[in-house]
């Protein structure tokens, strides 16, 4: 991806158009551990009967395989379920939909009271949960991904983040790598929509990562980001020379 940063605008636009084409023609198949569900559209509003509310197909990763097994082995079933709740809600928003606690209970095979208890525990830790019904009339908070990125920028290590968030290190590393790609493309002049297509993420996630970037204006965070982006550029340059 970094090799594309130096392309002329005309070529960069072609890359964006190709990404849009490949996304729009993608397969409807779901992978192992995934489930296709229909959730209320994010822009559906409130006050309608459920049968009259427009829905949107969402691919949910109910079981992330080795990542989930790692969390289960280290922290137990409750922590695994809470990580899954965060992942499912994030995937719903990124795909243009919102889930309710009932939706979560259904796919995780627990009762709604258990989901409510887990949500309360997560919210007490400062985690924003984009649940349907909780999005009306309030400002958007920060998702678990944004919180992890912000704390990483402030100096926390992967191990520290794993212990405090109960997310697998491989997941944390993926969030950070995606964030760095987003920042590199943003600094190269790409719009949020273009960045979303080039990184195969939703615009909502790109906007959230950009908000983290603009909010973290302290010296520690900006220095860490500059160092990591410089490291990515050095790695990319080294790969180019070896080709």
Range 236-243, long-range pairs (CB < 8 A, 24+ positions): 236/2, 236/3, 240/3
Q: Flag whether pLDDT at 139 surpasses 70.
A: no
Q: What is the pLDDT of residue 198?
A: 92
Confidence check: pLDDT of 81 > 90: yes
The DSSP annotation for 44-59 comes to --SSS-GGGS-EEEEE
pLDDT of 24 over the 80 cut: no
- Name the β-bridge partners of 40: 55, 98
Per the listing, tokens 């994030």 go with 90
Q: What is the pLDDT of residues 153-192, one digit of tens each?
A: 999 999 999 998 989 999 999 999 999 999 999 999 999 9
Report yes or no: 148 and 172 within 8 Å, Cβ to Cβ.
Answer: yes
Contact 125, 61 (CB under 8 A): no
In this predicted structure, what is the pLDDT of residue 82?
96
DSSP structural state of residue 137: S
- pLDDT at position 134 is 65
Q: Per-residue pLDDT averaged across 13-32, rounded?
A: 54
Q: Order of strands across the sheet with 34-41?
A: 55-61, 34-41, 97-98
Q: 0.85 exceeded by the pTM?
A: no
Q: Which residues of 108-141 are buried (b: 16+ CB within 10 A; e: fewer)?
A: beeeeebbeebbeebeeeebbbbbbebeeeeeee
């Amino acid at each position: 991806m970094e090799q594309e940063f130096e392309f002329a605008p005309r070529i960069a636009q072609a890359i964006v158009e190709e990404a849009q084409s490949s996304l729009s023609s993608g397969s409807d198949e779901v992978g192992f551990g995934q489930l296709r569900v229909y959730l209320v559209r994010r822009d559906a509003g409130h006050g309608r009967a459920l049968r009259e509310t427009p829905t949107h197909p969402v691919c949910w990763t109910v079981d992330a395989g080795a990542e989930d097994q790692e969390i289960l082995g280290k922290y137990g079933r409750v922590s695994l379920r809470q990580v899954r709740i965060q992942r499912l809600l994030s995937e719903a928003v990124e795909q243009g939909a919102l889930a309710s606690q009932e939706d979560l209970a259904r796919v995780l095979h627990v009762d709604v009271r258990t989901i409510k208890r887990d949500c309360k525990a997560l919210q007490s830790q400062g985690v924003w949960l984009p649940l349907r019904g909780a999005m009306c009339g309030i400002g958007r908070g920060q998702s678990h991904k944004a919180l992890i990125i912000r704390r990483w920028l402030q100096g926390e290590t992967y191990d520290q983040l794993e212990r405090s968030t109960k997310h697998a290190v491989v997941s944390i590393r993926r969030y950070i790598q995606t964030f760095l790609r987003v920042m590199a493309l943003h600094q190269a002049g790409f719009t949020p929509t273009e960045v979303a297509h080039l990184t195969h993420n939703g615009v909502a996630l790109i906007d959230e990562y950009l908000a983290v970037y603009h909010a973290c204006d302290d010296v520690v965070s900006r220095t860490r980001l500059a160092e990591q982006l410089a490291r990515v550029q050095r790695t990319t340059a080294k790969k180019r020379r070896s080709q």
